[in-house]
Amino acid sequence: MTFIEVLYFIVPVAIAYAAPLILTAIGGVFSERSGVVNIGLEGLMVIGAFIGVIFNLTFVDTFGSSTPYVALLAAMVVASLFSLFHAVASVSFRADQVVSGVAINLLAVAICLFLVKKIYGKGQTDFVQETFLRNDIWLLEKIPFLGPMFFQDVYWTSVIAIGVAILAWVVLYYTPFGLRLRAVGEHPMAADTMGINVTRMRYIAVMISGGLAGIGGAIYAQSISQDFGHATINGQGFMALAAMIFGKWHPLGALGAAVFFGFAQALSIVGGSLPVISEIPSVFLLILPYVLTILALAGFIGKASAPKALGTPYIKGNR
Amino acid sequence: MEHVIEMLNIRKEFGNFVANDNITLQLKKGEIHALLGENGAGKSTLMNVLFGLYQPEGGEIRVRGQEVKITDPNVANNLGIGMVHQHFMLVEDFTVTENIILGSEPTKGGMISVKRAAKKVQELSELYNLNVDPYAKIEDISVGMQQRVEILKTLYRGAEILIFDEPTASLTPQEITELMQIMRRLIEEGKSIILITHKLKEIMDVSDRVTVIRKGVGIGTVNTAETNPNDLADLMVGRHVEFKTIKGLAHPTTDVLEVKDLVVADYRGIEKVKGLNLHVRKGEIVGIAGIDGNGQTELIEAITGLRKAKSGQVFMNGQEITGNTPRKVTESGVGHIPQDRHKHGLILDFPLGHNIALQTYYTSPNSKNGFMDYSAISKKANEIIKKYDVRTQGDHELARALSGGNQQKAIIGREIDRDPDLLIAALPTRGLDVGAIEFIHQRLIEQRDKGKAVLLISFELDEVMNVSDRIAVIYDGQIVETLDPLQTNEQELGLLMAGQTKNDTQSNQVKEEDSSHV
Amino acid sequence: ACGTDKEETKTGNGGETEKNDFSVAMVTDIGGVDDKSFNQSAWKGLQDFGADNGLEKGDDGIDYLQSKSDADYNTNLNKLVRREFDLVFGIGFLMEAAITEIATQQKDAQLAIIDAVVDQPNVASVLFKEQEGAYLAGVSAALMTKSKKIGFVGGMEIPVIERFEAGFLEGVKAVDPSIKVDVQYTGAFDKAELGKTTANRMYSSGVDIIFHAAGGTGNGVFAEAKELKTKDPDAYVWVIGVDSDQYEEGAVGDTNVTLTSMLKRVDVAVQNLSKLAMDGKFPGGETTVYGLAEEGVALADSRGAIPEDVLAQIDEYAKKIADGDVVVPETVE
Amino acid sequence: MSKRFSNILIPGISVILGLLVGAIVMIVSGYDPVEGYIALWNGIFGDAYTIGETIRQITPYILAGLAVAFAFRSGLFNIGVEGQLIVGWFAAAYVGITFDDLPKMIHLPLAIIAAALAGALWGFIPGLLKAKFKVHEVIVTIMMNYIALHTSNALIRAVSDGGDNTGAIQPTASLRSAFLENMTDYSRLHYGILIALAMVLVMWLILEKTTRGFELKAVGLNQHASEYSGMNVNKNIILAMVISGAFAGLAGAMEALGTFGFASVKGGFTGIGFDGIAVALLGANTPLGVIFGATLFGSLKYGATNMPNEAGIPEEIVSIIIAIIIFFVASGYVIRLLLERFSKKKEAK
Ligand SMILES: Nc1ncnc2c1ncn2[C@@H]1O[C@H](COP(=O)(O)OP(=O)(O)OP(=O)(O)O)[C@@H](O)[C@H]1O
Ligand SMILES: Nc1ncnc2c1ncn2[C@@H]1O[C@H](COP(=O)(O)OP(=O)(O)OP(=O)(O)O)[C@@H](O)[C@H]1O
Ligand SMILES: [Mg+2]
Ligand SMILES: [Mg+2]
């Protein structure tokens, strides 16, 4: 592979790999910006993946080739409802938010597998027939150099993910809703004295995180694994969590971090086919994405500052 | 005379504890009404009830004659009630404008129209002479300006009735004067004000009437014109309090602390201490007077080892301690009452006893061969609790559960009990009532009389003038002047602190024999 | 498979057996009994055996236990031995240590292991010559490729998978030594995204046929091939499946990207061994090797994807191996 | 109500509520909960063998739980227990197979220490990065998990000449015990449980009795005040991660020297490390609580494997129950509130 070929391969792959991570990490941004720790992202992705696949299998005759997209909506709705568990526990019941997130992760896998076994009588679903496809983006694909890198063979889901990242940035930083949400995460009592309903904001934020993680899971399952089983979502939620922190709790930062992970991942796959690198024992390629991340963090990202009220339940009148 | 607010027989309970026991407070239109009481008397609680943060167990509230139920701050806002809280309710990460518009943002096409908001903020700021930059970030502005942002918040919402809960606790004298002017201006514009403060002088200066509460019970309301500070204090505490700190003459001897050409940068790398010289001798209290942000924090942090100095030297009893770790500095004989008791002074979720052992936990008898002796710690803690009159349920209670005043007493007990050669006391009486302040000042003087050195950092002229034997004025990272408290006055101090030079101030000061080397 | 068999399970204990008093059970590895791979194949073997001999699922017939983690192998095997099954299979080389341990503890039990050798008198070992099947897969890939570029996607670099690789490379070489085989291990059996990305890289570099031996990671290979096929129905992209017939996995509307699959007939082995045991001829302490000759490995029906004449050529290679004229190496030189 | 009392009551009530919810789920999905719970009970306590296996299962959970809890008490969130366990597993197995004429007295402790050291090293890296560069330990530990997995697989291949298994450890390095096995009808119960319990004691001693523990807790609660009082915050952060990692490494030793007796190439995570988070949190991050959490978690998880077999119910039901229990334990505030209301009403009567 020439250098250009490597680029033409790596960039689209990185973006495609990143899409589920981007969405989930941005979900995390919403939740944590409102002050609610969400390590339940993994579980919420599981729900999304499960619903996406089930919906796709069930309604493929009704919706035809648009099934995967409709399934995203279904996954979003169900996962955001499921995230209410986390909201109720950590916002209303003042549960330790990490504990509640752990419970979400356990519960999601358990319920989904339980249902798969109940419905299909086996450990995983069938394969879905309609999946996401790559497209060339009209006209843009023709731009020299950039065209093949960014606009040929892209998934609409990647476009959605990047769109959501930009939208999330606008919402969080330029709308009243975003201002209030961030205020609730930084100084809930200040927000309370300004007449903002802290509890309601946090519920909404957690549900947004559920919805986005659900879409993320559904994209993953319908484009990559194409079925649902116990290992379908296998750490991606934690990677999304890492992307969120890496991105300093900012939607565009999360986007960048997720693409970085995708890039590192793609690099490790390309590596095997490059003459020099293929001499290196494969374990070094396998751990490359993770080592790169750590180096990046230690080298030039440095201290990340979480929202100030992150992890603390808001109790009216408490100082 | 029209009452804009009437709080009648308000009762508020926390569990079995009665914080407000049938308190009545009536606010006339256009008056400044002071609310006075010791720490924990229930002032904030009463105001939080009025602002809708707490629901009372009994009593009624009338606003402009109408009985109302204030179920949450929104209701209060709509009734024209605004509150400036004891602890600022500001999001540090946001700009001034963002903080002000939060909750009622002007929008255009779904987006916040920051420009429009900032313009309105600017207008309000000009109307009331608040001098606030709408685009500045809260974390970058002074405490005084933060205070004014809090005021703007209420004005922005069209508040007619303003509650100020201890607004001056962390302001500099200049800022306090400005605030008083702002309050008067607000009254001129037809607003009414409830003011909570521990500073009797302020009450006498600015208020029209005073309501006093003691231990949750309303003692009564008096016209300011018909009372005086001594009566007010006695009324509040329920016994006679002495005002002027009683102390004999100082007999300073040799240098304990010596700071030479010290340069320190803050967390952002900006130099805050710029070649500072200072010395403190055995048997004297040196007060550092200055406006917040002139390098006091960085100076103390550099002396105590919490921050690395860029250059210069620090000596304790002749030994250089520059760049030493906090542990080594402490062991060289420094005691430190930190400026922020919740951040540095205490581990709020540790029991009080552990907190009292925070500087000595690793030494015998608290620790032997790497193992703790918690009974020794407990024994010592109880001694200190008793000696320093810390009101608590015992050394096992979490530090968090204590009131600010008692937390402070525990810290002071901890630091003084080690009998350090140098005691650094940074804002030791912030937010405390007169009784507690008196107690703490006495302890500092006691240390001096035992032949120890004391370095006092304070924003309050009263305190600096009363307690210190020597006043070092800090401005822009340097000690610009050293004064004898008996030979100076508040005006002169105030001007020096604001950056004027001694020649500007005209008044004649007796120079100390060694002031050149200070 | 669950929830419906309660009655049989319960009535099993102590009831007289009318038809047949032989019983046999198996323990799956963590893939589970419906892994679309060799656990499933093994269970199919038991089911067929049960059907032939009138055995039903339950204590006196046929049964399985699934393992959630490596730690379960031992307990699951133990449980089945305790339930007094006459023969207990451990499916997969991962169970080697567990079988060894139980065989020494329970000397009366009859045990069998697939894909590993356990040297105990009461254990029958079954091995497959994956390399022979993979060789045929290599031959068919080499005969079918148009671009002269072929891919191999492995899961983890472990000896079993290396046998696949070795056989495959050998098969390709036998047809045309100039064909380039792009070999990549993904380091995992359950990371579909790695399979997909790897396949993406291979196909976009001109590879037209990929043989995967990567379990769930292989799903990603199928996903990529199917995507290419959907986008361009004339695209010449193929996947060769592994272990069981992966025709289903390759379905794209009316077409299919599965060229063929290399079958590992665990079902055949399980059935044979059960039959021997039932007849009192349990080959304890012996190792049975299933290669092409024993029909233990084979290629699946290509359902027309491979033309007749090519199939004929493949058969010739198969015959050579079966006759011992060609010996396929187990490791890559 | 006394705090101590409600500290016991709340987990108790949570377990009951969890089982109730589990029963409802079973009824709704058409299974018989009575049959299900009998199967679960038998799966845990059925006979000597299952009891032995249940305890064996609990052993690594205790150590993984301690690892998470210890870091938590020092203000750190160690999601990397899984990776630390994996490297500990390999290290113990490696020492176990490598030395062949050491007496047991030396060989076994050596293997155990090797595991603890390997885990400690894996904890040291995120600790160091946190202390020196303020890098968030959550990300680094997540990444370290994957690195551990691939590295240990590569090492296993290296020591076994490309094989997938290190081969059995020498008997001199084994935690297995003929005595315990006989007592429990050939279960794999091994002496590791004693090590795990000893470590509970060690954690308690460190945190509650030693000066170092005082510092670790202080740093966990308020770094600024700790620095003010002269503690070396960075050193304590690193130490906390190192000790936490050592506990996790020991969990790996339990698998290497007890349950399995070897290390093999892993296709994915063991899950024990992640479950350790739940165990620690169930136990409120206290040493004794971890025993409770591990016992609950371990026995339910192990007993669950009997449910599909004996009652035809998918074993995931038990994970649902565990998750519900965790929810309730975490929401202790609400339960306490309800209990207080309830006891007040009683008083009123
Ligand atoms: N949230 C609360 N829960 C329980 N008790 C409280 C709470 N808030 C206040 N109290 C109790 O009510 C009493 C009055 O507190 P409050 O804050 O009103 O005092 P204050 O007069 O404002 O004191 P200060 O001068 O220190 O500000 C305190 O002594 C405290 O014991
Ligand atoms: N959440 C709470 N639960 C119980 N008691 C509380 C709570 N919050 C405050 N208190 C009580 O309030 C009192 C403290 O009063 P307060 O905080 O007003 O003192 P303070 O001098 O204003 O301190 P600071 O200025 O540092 O806040 C203590 O007696 C404490 O028992
Ligand atoms: Mg107050
Ligand atoms: Mg106060």
Q: Do C193 and A220 touch (CB under 8 A)?
A: yes
| Placement of tokens 């497209």 in the chain | A135
Question: Best interface-test mutation with B: which of D134, D214, D227, D233 has the largest number of B CBs within 10 A?
Answer: D214
Across chain A, mean pLDDT equals 89
* Closest CA of chain B from D341, distance in Å: 13
Do A260 and A15 form a contact (C-beta atoms < 8 A)? no
Contacts of B382 (CB under 8 A, 6+ apart): B353, B394, B395
User: From CA B504, how far away is CA B491, in angstroms rounded?
Assistant: 12
User: Which residues on adjacent β-strands are paired with residue D274?
Assistant: none
The pLDDT of D163-183, averaged and rounded, is: 90
Question: Which chain D residues touch A242 with a CB distance below 8 Å?
Answer: 138-139, 142-143
User: Which residues on adjacent β-strands are paired with residue B339?
Assistant: none
User: From CA A215, how far away is CA A164, in angstroms rounded?
Assistant: 11
User: From CA B137, how far away is CA B114, in angstroms rounded?
Assistant: 14
Domain ranges for chain A: 18-232
DSSP C154-200: ESS--HHHHHHHHHHHHHHHHH-TT-EEEEEE-S-SS-HHHHHHHHH
What integer pLDDT is reported at residue B507 of this predicted model? 46
Q: What angle do CA A302, A303, A306 make, to 5 degrees?
A: 140
The residue whose C-alpha atom lies closest to atom 4 belonging to ligand 1 is B14
Polymer length of chain B: 518
Domains in chain B (CATH in brackets) are: 3-237 (3.40.50.300), 255-333+420-515 (3.40.50.300), 345-400+411-416 (no CATH)
User: Does residue D345 sit within a domain?
Assistant: no
What does the pLDDT look like over D278-313, one tens digit per residue?
899 888 899 999 999 999 999 999 999 889 888 889
User: Which residues on adjacent β-strands are paired with residue C318?
Assistant: none
Q: Name the token pair of A165.
A: 């990242």
User: Does residue D248 sit within a domain?
Assistant: yes
User: Could you give phi then psi for residue A128, rounded to 5 degrees?
Assistant: -80, 150
| Bridge-based pairing state of the strands B111-112 and B66-68 | unpaired
Buried b (16+ CB within 10 A) or exposed e, B8-43: eebbbeeeeebbbbebebbbebbbbbbbbbbbbbbb
Percent of chain D with pLDDT over 90: 75
Q: How many CB atoms lie within 10 A of CB D338?
A: 11
Q: Name the token pair of D170.
A: 């020498």
DSSP B72-117: SHHHHHHTTEEEE-SS----TTSBHHHHHHTTS--EETTEE-HHHH
User: Does residue D101 sit within a domain?
Assistant: yes
What integer pLDDT is reported at residue B505 of this predicted model? 56
A138/D277: higher pLDDT: D277
User: Does residue D140 sit within a domain?
Assistant: yes
What integer pLDDT is reported at residue C141 of this predicted model? 97
Reply yes or no on whether the pLDDT at C7 is more than 90.
Answer: no
Q: How confident is the model at residue D349 (pLDDT cuts 50, 70, 90)?
A: low
Do D300 and D36 form a contact (C-beta atoms < 8 A)? no
User: Could you give phi then psi for residue A133, rounded to 5 degrees?
Assistant: -120, 160
What integer pLDDT is reported at residue B268 of this predicted model? 77
Residue type, A21: L
Reply yes or no on whether the pLDDT at D267 is more than 90.
Answer: no
User: From CA C23, how far away is CA C16, in angstroms rounded?
Assistant: 13
What integer pLDDT is reported at residue B144 of this predicted model? 80
User: From CA D106, how far away is CA D103, in angstroms rounded?
Assistant: 6
What integer pLDDT is reported at residue B503 of this predicted model? 67
Q: How confident is the model at residue D15 (pLDDT cuts 50, 70, 90)?
A: very high
Do D348 and A131 form a contact (C-beta atoms < 8 A)? no
**CA nearest to C86, candidates C32, C26, C38, C33:** C26
Reply yes or no on whether the pLDDT at A8 is more than 90.
Answer: no
Q: Does B401 touch chain A (CB under 8 A)?
A: no
Q: Name the token pair of B12.
A: 């508020």
Instruction: Please give the C-alpha separations between residue D125 and each of B281, D120, D129, D251, in angstroms, as whole numbers.
Output: 47, 9, 6, 19
What integer pLDDT is reported at residue D4 of this predicted model? 65
B263/C31: higher pLDDT: B263
User: Does residue D341 sit within a domain?
Assistant: no
Chains C and B touch (3+ CB pairs under 8 A): no
What does the pLDDT look like over D19-47, one tens digit per residue?
999 999 999 999 999 999 999 999 999 89
Across chain D, mean pLDDT equals 92
**CA nearest to A180, candidates A195, A165, A164, A169:** A195
Q: What angle do CA D313, D316, D321 make, to 5 degrees?
A: 100
**CA nearest to D119, candidates D97, D157, D73, D152:** D152
Which stretches of chain B score pLDDT less than 70? 1, 242-245, 502-518
What does the pLDDT look like over C48-63, one tens digit per residue?
999 999 898 888 899 9
User: From CA B385, how far away is CA C204, in angstroms rounded?
Assistant: 77
User: Which residues on adjacent β-strands are paired with residue B289?
Assistant: B458, B473
User: From CA B115, how far away is CA B137, in angstroms rounded?
Assistant: 15
User: From CA C83, how far away is CA D83, in angstroms rounded?
Assistant: 37
Percent of chain C with pLDDT over 70: 94
What integer pLDDT is reported at residue A1 of this predicted model? 64
Name the most confidently modeled range: A26-40, A273-287, B2-16. A26-40
Instruction: Judge if the beta carbon of residue B44 lies within 6 A of ligand 1.
Output: yes
Number of structural domains chain D divides into: 1
Do B162 and B193 form a contact (C-beta atoms < 8 A)? yes
Residue type, B468: S
Instruction: Please give the C-alpha separations between residue A303 and each of A185, B113, D130, D140, in angstroms, as whole numbers.
Output: 19, 32, 9, 13
What integer pLDDT is reported at residue D348 of this predicted model? 62
Q: What angle do CA C181, C183, C184 make, to 5 degrees?
A: 155
Which residue on chain A is closest to D280 by alpha carbon? Answer: A99
User: Could you give phi then psi for residue B14, rounded to 5 degrees?
Assistant: -115, 105
User: From CA B262, how far away is CA C181, in angstroms rounded?
Assistant: 70
Reply yes or no on whether the pLDDT at C18 is more than 50.
Answer: no
| Among candidates D210, D225, D230 on the partner chain, residue whose Cβ is nearest the Cβ of B347 | D225
The residue whose C-alpha atom lies closest to atom 29 belonging to ligand 2 is B403
User: Could you give phi then psi for residue C168, rounded to 5 degrees?
Assistant: -65, -50
The residue whose C-alpha atom lies closest to atom 27 belonging to ligand 1 is B39
User: From CA B154, how far away is CA B159, in angstroms rounded?
Assistant: 5
What integer pLDDT is reported at residue B243 of this predicted model? 64
* Closest CA of chain D from A47, distance in Å: 14
Do C257 and C226 form a contact (C-beta atoms < 8 A)? yes
Q: Does B346 touch chain D (CB under 8 A)?
A: yes
Polymer length of chain A: 319
Do B446 and B413 form a contact (C-beta atoms < 8 A)? no
Q: Residue D258 is part of which domain span?
A: 57-284
User: Could you give phi then psi for residue C106, rounded to 5 degrees?
Assistant: -110, 85
DSSP C215-279: TTHHHHHHHHHHHHHHH-TT---EEEEEES--TGGGEETTEE-EEEEEEE-HHHHHHHHHHHHHT
| Placement of tokens 């079993």 in the chain | C160
Q: Which of residues 193-212 of D touch B (CB under 8 A)?
A: 209-212
Do C24 and C87 form a contact (C-beta atoms < 8 A)? yes
What is the gyration radius of the CA atoms in chain A, in angstroms? 20
The 3-state DSSP composition of chain D as helix, strand, coil percent (nearest 5) reads 80, 0, 20
The pLDDT of D167-177, averaged and rounded, is: 92
DSSP D195-229: HHHHHHHHHHHHHHHBHHHHHHHHHHH-HHHHHHT
Q: How confident is the model at residue A83 (pLDDT cuts 50, 70, 90)?
A: very high
Residue type, A78: V
The pLDDT of D71-93, averaged and rounded, is: 96
**CA nearest to C148, candidates C186, C180, C116:** C180
The pLDDT of C114-126, averaged and rounded, is: 94
C215/B315: higher pLDDT: B315
Positive or negative torsion for Cα B116, B122, B126, B130: positive
What integer pLDDT is reported at residue C20 of this predicted model? 64
Q: Do A95 and D129 touch (CB under 8 A)?
A: no
User: From CA C91, how far away is CA B15, in angstroms rounded?
Assistant: 64
What integer pLDDT is reported at residue B245 of this predicted model? 67
| Bridge-based pairing state of the strands B271-281 and B255-265 | antiparallel
What integer pLDDT is reported at residue B516 of this predicted model? 42
What does the pLDDT look like over C74-87, one tens digit per residue?
989 998 998 899 99
| Bridge-based pairing state of the strands B311-316 and B319-320 | antiparallel
What integer pLDDT is reported at residue A65 of this predicted model? 87
User: Which residues on adjacent β-strands are paired with residue B351?
Assistant: B398
Q: How confident is the model at residue A319 (pLDDT cuts 50, 70, 90)?
A: very low
Percent of chain D with pLDDT over 70: 97
Q: Do B346 and D209 touch (CB under 8 A)?
A: no
Q: Name the token pair of A102.
A: 């752990």
Question: Best interface-test mutation with B: which of D205, D207, D209, D211 has the largest number of B CBs within 10 A?
Answer: D211
